[in-house]
Each structure stands twice: as structure tokens, then as C-alpha cells.
Amino acid sequence: MDLTRQEFDDLRRYVYELCGLHIPDNKEYLIVQRLGPLLRSVGAESWSEFHDFLRRDDTSRMRNEIISAITTNETSFFRDRHPFDSFREHILPKLCKEVTSRQLRGDKRPVRIWSAAASTGQEALTLAMVILDHLEQHGGCGLRARDFSILATDISARALARAVAGDYSEFELSRGLPDYFRKYFERSGKRWRAGARLRDMVEYRQFNLVSDFDDLGRFEVIFCRNVLIYFDQETKRDLLNRFCSVLCPGGHLVLGSTESVYGLSEAFEQQRLGRAIWYRLREDAACSVFP
Ligand SMILES: C[S@@+](CC[C@H](N)C(=O)[O-])C[C@H]1O[C@@H](n2cnc3c(N)ncnc32)[C@H](O)[C@@H]1O
């Protein structure tokens, strides 16, 4: 079925309003290939009829279907490796000190880490494994797994349902997980399920990064990797500004290896920690949501 220029513009505007994803001019095939099955499933006879249907439809079911179809959920355990190495070597020891000094003050709040575009959960589970392993290697440092809390969010209900299940194929495990870390998974036939110790550290929630952050609380660390690339400059700028508002003073943000805050935000100081680039929230950063 032909997609006219007007229909392409209407549908990409709909997607943009829904989740901030910017579909560039030459990417008509994304609409055709990814939304085509949904068009057929509702019996629409043209793309404009489908667009009218979407604009009239006020159920979350179809919106969820569109989001799950249009988003790219590519991920893997220990993806790009370096951010996790430097998290273990440079960030985690500081977080351990932070929890310890909090506890000495009688403050039992855990350190909070946000995997902000978590897809099917591998990034959040990788963080949980690195933390558990660090605690085991260092005799617990007087700390327990529950002193760390990981929030894994994604806009895609389909991806998030897989993350919640924590159930992976041999292929998904072998795509990045060193054998050493298999001990944190339980084998069931040809599948591997994240063990209770990992699952207990992660809370899952469907969340649109283009919505407000008011009830998220604060985080010491935010992993937001490989999603900024799908947003336009305005959405990236706005998102980084809102990250500032939920990061603790001096908190750290890590982006995907092809992403950067350059030209988008002045609130972060770039740091090379090991072989990864991190963005540390400047002490004097003025962010708009929280004072
Ligand atoms: C390519 S995956 C990256 C997964 C993981 N962070 C990594 O680097 O391996 C991008 C994820 O961003 C999610 N996403 C896209 N737009 C979003 C939005 N507006 N809010 C929250 N998540 C979004 C997609 O559903 C997808 O799971």
C-alpha cells in the first residue's frame, strides 16, 4: 500500500508525540515495515485511514502496540563492556562509601541506579551482577545487595514484559555474558532465568522518557544508553535537563558510545573513567525541575 508524503508526515508526527522518536525524512520504510502489520490488523484500507483510526483511538492497547512495533530494542548483557568496567572500578567503590557513611548517620536509604531505557532487561541485570560480584569479592564491604536499588524502565510494554520475566535464550546469554556470571542464572531446559538474587535488586516500570519525572525520586547513577540517538535535538536537550533534576549532586550519567551531551547541556562535567566517558553533574548545575 502506497504511503504518500502527507501520510508519512502525519504518522511520524503521531509517533513523535507518543514517544519522542524522530523518524528522519528518508525513513518511510520504518513506518511501512513496522506499522504495516498493525494497519492490516485493524482493517484500515489506507495509511490515512489508519492515521485517523489512531487519532480517534483512546485506548492504551493500540498505543502500546505502536510503541512496541516502532521502537528498536537491541541490547545485550555487558553491552559495550567499558561502562560496566568503569562502573565497577571507579563508581561502585564511591557508592559503597556513600552508603556506608549514610548508614553511620542512621540513614538506611539504598543507592539508586536508573537503567532509563532498559529494553528487555540485560543492562539492569548486568549492573546487578557487577554489584553482587563486587560485594562478594570485597567480603560485602559491610554492605548487602539491598543497599543498592536498580530501577529499570522502558516505554515498550512488550520489551518490559520480557525484562520482568528475566528469561533468556542461550543465544542471548552468550551474546555478552562472561561464563563466570552464569552462576547468577538458573537453567531451565534451553532457557536461563535470572536468579532471585538478581531479580530482587531490580524494580521494573513502564515509563516514557518524554513524560515528567516528578515521582521518580533521586538517583546516584543513570544509565541511559542508545536511546538519545532516536530523539531530535530539542528532545535530547529537554531530557538531559530533566536528568539533572533527578540526579543527586555529583551524580553520574552514562550515555551510549555514540551519544554525548556536547552542545546540549552545560550541566555536566565530562570524565573519562577507564575506557568509558561519564558525565558528572556539576555541583553548581542549575536544573529546572527541582531546586
Ligand atoms: C536500543 S534500546 C537500548 C537498550 C539499552 N539501554 C542498551 O543500550 O542496550 C533503546 C530502548 O529505548 C526505548 N525507548 C525508546 N523511546 C523511549 C521513550 N520515549 N521512553 C522510554 N524508553 C524509550 C526502546 O523501547 C528501547 O527498548
Task: Domain ranges for the chain, please list them.
Answer: 5-70, 82-281
With residue 53 as reference, give the H or E element that holds it.
Answer: helix 47-56
Greater model confidence, 226 or 291? 226
> Ligand 1 centroid to 71 CA: how many Å?
7
> Ligand 1 centroid to 212 CA: how many Å?
17
pTM of the model: 0.96
> Ligand 1 centroid to 113 CA: how many Å?
16
> Ligand 1 centroid to 167 CA: how many Å?
19
Give the number of other CB atoms < 10 A from CB of residue 75: 23
Q: What is the pLDDT of residue 287?
A: 60
Which pLDDT band holds residue 285 (cuts at 50, 70, 90)? confident
Which pLDDT band holds residue 289 (cuts at 50, 70, 90)? very low
CATH of domain 82-281: 3.40.50.150
Give the number of other CB atoms < 10 A from CB of residue 242: 21
227 lines ligand 1 (CB under 6 A): yes
Q: What is the pLDDT of residues 36-86, one digit of tens each?
A: 999 999 999 999 999 999 999 979 999 999 999 999 999 999 999 999 999
CB 51 within 8 A of CB 14: yes
Strand partners, 62: none
From 78, 154, 254, give the residue whose CB has the most ligand 1 atoms within 8 Å, as the site to mutate: 154
Q: 251 CB contacts (<8 Å, ≥6 apart)?
A: 218, 219, 220, 221, 222, 280, 281
Q: What is the pLDDT of residues 142-155, one digit of tens each?
A: 899 999 999 999 99
Q: What is the pLDDT of residue 290?
A: 38
> Ligand 1 centroid to 208 CA: how many Å?
10
Q: What is the pLDDT of residue 58?
A: 78
Which pLDDT band holds residue 18 (cuts at 50, 70, 90)? very high
Q: How far apart are CA 199 and CA 268, in angstroms?
A: 31
Q: Which among 139, 138, 116 has a CA at the least distance from the CA of 127? A: 116
> Ligand 1 centroid to 84 CA: how many Å?
18
Question: Of all atoms in ligand 1, which is nearest to the CA of residue 21?
Answer: 16
Strand partners, 151: 114, 203
Which pLDDT band holds residue 286 (cuts at 50, 70, 90)? low
Q: How far apart are CA 143 and CA 227, in angstroms?
A: 33
Residue of the CA atom closest to atom 3 of ligand 1: 226
Q: What is the pLDDT of residues 109-164, one digit of tens each?
A: 999 999 999 999 999 999 999 999 999 998 767 899 999 999 999 999 999 999 99
Q: Which segments within the chain are labelled E, that is strand?
A: 111-115, 148-154, 167-169, 185-188, 191-194, 202-206, 219-224, 247-255, 268-273, 276-281
From 211, 227, 231, 234, give the residue whose CB has the most ligand 1 atoms within 8 Å, as the site to mutate: 227
Q: What is the pLDDT of residue 288?
A: 46
Q: What is the pLDDT of residue 138?
A: 84
Beta sheet of 167-169, edge-to-edge order: 167-169, 191-194, 185-188
Q: What is the pLDDT of residues 221-258, one digit of tens each?
A: 999 999 999 999 999 999 999 999 999 999 999 999 99
DSSP 109: P
Q: Which residue has the cell 518511510?
A: 28
Q: What is the pLDDT of residues 183-223, one digit of tens each?
A: 999 999 999 999 999 999 999 999 999 999 999 999 999 99
Question: Of all atoms in ligand 1, which is nearest to the CA of residue 207?
Answer: 21
> Ligand 1 centroid to 46 CA: how many Å?
29
CB 189 within 8 A of CB 168: no
- For the segment(s) 5-70, the CATH number from 1.10.860, 1.10.10, 1.10.3470, 1.10.155 is 1.10.155
Q: What is the pLDDT of residue 213?
A: 96
